[in-house]
Structure 1
Amino acid sequence: MGETDGDELTNTSSSSSVDVMNIPADFVNLKNALQNTSNYQTLSKCSVDDKCKPVALKYNVCYIVAAVVYNEKNEVLLIQEAKASCYQKWYLPAGRVDPDETLVDAVKREVLEESGLLFEPSSLVCVEENGGYWIRFTFTGAIVGGELKTVENADRESLQADWFEDPSSSNLRCKDILPLISRTKICNTQLETKSSIPLLPIHFAQSLLVVQVIFLIEAHDKQYTILQKVDGSSSISYTFPAVCLYQADRSILESIQRLLALILMRSEMYSTEIIGILGLEHTGQSSKGCDGIVFNLAVTLTSNSDTCNGKLPEVNGRQFELFYAPKDLDTYTPDLSTENLEKRCVPLISLGLKGR
């Protein structure tokens, strides 16, 4: 583990444009379809305000990676801690992401250092966030080599590793890993039956923490979304709305509410619910000032008032536009149903909202 505790919870410039080009899952097709129409241009940039500050590992943000790995006997891999604060207690292989390290490389390193095994990630299981300063990424995958660490090979990373049929009966460092273990079992079953789609981070450089939102709105028995206008030299292009995650934000949902206030004329009349993460963009190029992450989220938007039910919300037309794909696209109709998106989403857990 690169640092001590922290794996459990206890701009380079002031430019207002940030490149956010990767739209995941079905929205890759939506992006391509938009590019082929006369009234929609390349989805290439999103605007965030000048208050956003670049994030930097070991300075103002902490990324944690963890691995939940099952063997052929349906046992879970745990490691025995060597740190004085939790000596001889068991936990998932986990630790801090080092500068100039991708999330995938970080979790592979942590599993090897703490268990002696070679790990190949296949998908994110979930992402936990506590606002703009602490984020944990849990992966699942397979062991592809190595030797299980024994007490004879104990070091500062861990004392040993072992497989557990029932981790809850062990002397755990913290029980916060039990929901992750249960969630991974469900995730693996869905991946095996192809009822969900694996998701790993996309390599894309970013200096900020940015939340890019695909809003889902139902009205007149149709599915709508919202696009953000981007002024170009000769025409207007569109992208999905985006907002910066501030260090002071208690959760990503708080930043989405701030974005909604810019989009809707009466944002207080509507509520949001995060379906999950459709895509994650990160390169881990700390030496180039690129420790940021882009979260591509699917979010439902519903009315709080009977007078607005079934009606389309009024948007700020100077910056945003309601979009109904089947009307505007002849070649592609994206499936924006919640059921379809849930198959493509990784759960986002906002720890800052617990207990509120």
Structure 2
Amino acid sequence: MQVEVEEKEVEEQMGRLLSGEGLEVTLLDVIPELARPPVVLKKTVSYIVCAVIFNDKEEVLMVQEAKQECYKQWYLPAGRMEEGESIVQALRREVKEEAGFDCQPITLLLIQEQGPQWIRFIFLVKVTGGSLKTPQDADQESLQAAWWDRTSPLSLRGRDILPLIDAGLKYRQSAWHPTTMPIDMPCQHVAQRIIMTFTNSQQELWVLLATAPSAHLPAAAAVKTHTVTWAASMVLQEATPSRYHDYDLSTLGVLGVQHTGRQPGKADGVCLNTLVSLVEDRPQRNEDGERLEPAESAPPPLENPRYRWHRVRNDALRQNILERIKKKSILPVNSLY
């Protein structure tokens, strides 16, 4: 009876995460030694915000850099988060300082990371007030702002922003994931909460749960020497060490980002709520590409009593998860390693 109650609660939690809500980070199931101390903004972690803003002509807002190392080159409005700021507060400040506009984020477009020490949050943003920064307004933040038609020659600080602009145009034309905004919840580490799924050919769906102190979706702190989403691999290695290499583990994307700036130095971390897919790695196939052996009908057996598989029986929840996996309707997270 207790197991049924716990699993019902977990399914309710999964539903909340899929709808863009958050869950308090009360414990981490894997805390590697390299990640044990809580992260501290500007000392052990750096968060960067970046704005993709279009006008009615689909011209993109650009700012001309004032920094000596990239003087007079052009870039999207972007900058580092300051102590005590939320992600959205940092975004609004940077756009105001560099471009002169008041703004409102529409959705997160993409998350990029170079391990847990450097994470960039890219937003699709709309202007709500203010005025375009002119050369007469030049200061240490930027020299000026301008609308770029994306074809005229422009000296760019880096071409890394071009895919971000393309992603913004794509989302404006057809949103491929639900509106996703940061959730105001504290976390001491850079962590990944994991909905790890296994699906068979009959479209049955299992999700991996941690068992102690009660059944819950597992979470793990990121390792300094790996990508943020390596945390899911650490959980799988703990759960089934001998079968770990037999499966391909893919973090499909982010359902939500939890962070608060209200506790500087104490809760500077972020928790990425992620959807992860587990499939058999490199099944044998014939010359026509047909599978020689039938796909596994159940997830791999677990060797660690701290974990168990939960078969999702709520049909609406199962269909929701399967649809999100099929359509890749999830906020992307990309490693720049």
TM-score normalized by structure 1? 0.80
Q: In the alignment, does 2:307 pair up with 1:320?
A: yes
Tell me if structure 1 keeps the 8 A contact 2:41–2:265.
no
Q: In the alignment, does 2:89 pair up with 1:105?
A: yes
Q: In the alignment, does 2:30 pair up with 1:48?
A: yes
Tell me if structure 1 keeps the 8 A contact 2:191–2:271.
yes
Q: Which residue, 61, 85, 107 being the options, matches 2:45? A: 61
- Offset at 1:57? 1.1
Secondary structure of the 1:285 match is coil
- Offset at 1:351? 0.8
- Structure 2 equivalent of residue 171 of structure 1: 155
- Offset at 1:45? 4.5
Judged with a 3 Å threshold, the aligned counterparts in structure 2 of structure 1 residues 293 and 123 are, in CA distance, closer, same or farther, namely: same
Q: Which residue, 204, 225, 230 being the options, matches 2:185? A: 204
Judged with a 3 Å threshold, the aligned counterparts in structure 2 of structure 1 residues 330 and 220 are, in CA distance, closer, same or farther, namely: closer
- Structure 2 equivalent of residue 267 of structure 1: 244
List gaps (5 residues or longer) in structure 2: 1-11, 284-292
Identify the range of structure 1 (240-249 vs 201-210) with the bigger mean alpha-carbon deviation: 240-249
Instruction: Kindly report which structure 2 residues correspond to 1:103-182, keeping only aligned pairs within 5 A, or say none.
Output: 103-166=87-150, 169-182=153-166
Secondary structure of the 1:141 match is strand
- Offset at 1:184? 1.1
Secondary structure of the 2:303 match is coil
Query: RMSD over aligned Cα, in angstroms?
Result: 2.6
List gaps (5 residues or longer) in structure 1: 1-21, 32-41, 232-236
The C-alpha deviation readout for 1:11-50, integer Å capped at 9, x for no partner, is: xxxxxxxxxxx95765468x9xxxxxxxxxx996442336
- Structure 1 equivalent of residue 288 of structure 2: none
Question: For 1:288 and 1:59, how far apart are their aligned partners in 2?
Answer: 10
- Offset at 1:213? 1.1
Q: Which residue, 195, 199, 216 being the options, matches 2:197? A: 216
Q: In the alignment, does 2:336 pair up with 1:351?
A: yes
Aligned amino acid, residue 177 of structure 1: I
Question: For 1:259 and 1:99, how far apart are their aligned partners in 2?
Answer: 31
- Offset at 1:169? 3.1
Tell me if structure 2 keeps the 8 A contact 1:45–1:230.
no
- Structure 1 equivalent of residue 7 of structure 2: none
- Offset at 1:257? 1.7
Judged with a 3 Å threshold, the aligned counterparts in structure 2 of structure 1 residues 351 and 330 are, in CA distance, closer, same or farther, namely: closer
Judged with a 3 Å threshold, the aligned counterparts in structure 2 of structure 1 residues 167 and 278 are, in CA distance, closer, same or farther, namely: farther
- Offset at 1:316? 3.2
Secondary structure of the 1:166 match is coil
Tell me if structure 2 keeps the 8 A contact 1:278–1:345.
yes
- Offset at 1:141? 1.8
Question: For 2:325 and 2:277, how far apart are their aligned partners in 1?
Answer: 13
Judged with a 3 Å threshold, the aligned counterparts in structure 2 of structure 1 residues 154 and 331 are, in CA distance, closer, same or farther, namely: closer
The C-alpha deviation readout for 1:128-181, integer Å capped at 9, x for no partner, is: 011121110001121000010000111110000000111673100111100110
Judged with a 3 Å threshold, the aligned counterparts in structure 2 of structure 1 residues 202 and 341 are, in CA distance, closer, same or farther, namely: farther
Judged with a 3 Å threshold, the aligned counterparts in structure 2 of structure 1 residues 252 and 50 are, in CA distance, closer, same or farther, namely: closer
Question: For 1:351 and 1:292, how far apart are their aligned partners in 2?
Answer: 20
Question: For 1:254 and 1:115, how far apart are their aligned partners in 2?
Answer: 36
Judged with a 3 Å threshold, the aligned counterparts in structure 2 of structure 1 residues 111 and 43 are, in CA distance, closer, same or farther, namely: closer
Tell me if structure 2 keeps the 8 A contact 1:225–1:323.
yes
Tell me if structure 2 keeps the 8 A contact 1:64–1:94.
yes
Tell me if structure 1 keeps the 8 A contact 2:74–2:155.
yes
Question: For 2:75 and 2:110, how far apart are their aligned partners in 1?
Answer: 17
TM-score normalized by structure 2? 0.84
The C-alpha deviation readout for 1:93-128, integer Å capped at 9, x for no partner, is: 000000110000001100000000011001100000
Question: For 1:24 and 1:145, how far apart are their aligned partners in 2?
Answer: 38
- Structure 2 equivalent of residue 310 of structure 1: 296
Q: Which residue, 232, 250, 255 being the options, matches 2:231? A: 255
- Structure 2 equivalent of residue 289 of structure 1: 266
Tell me if structure 1 keeps the 8 A contact 2:62–2:147.
yes
- Offset at 1:229? 1.0
Q: In the alignment, does 2:55 pair up with 1:71?
A: yes
- Structure 1 equivalent of residue 210 of structure 2: 228
Tell me if structure 1 keeps the 8 A contact 2:50–2:79.
yes
- Offset at 1:345? 1.5
- Structure 2 equivalent of residue 299 of structure 1: 276
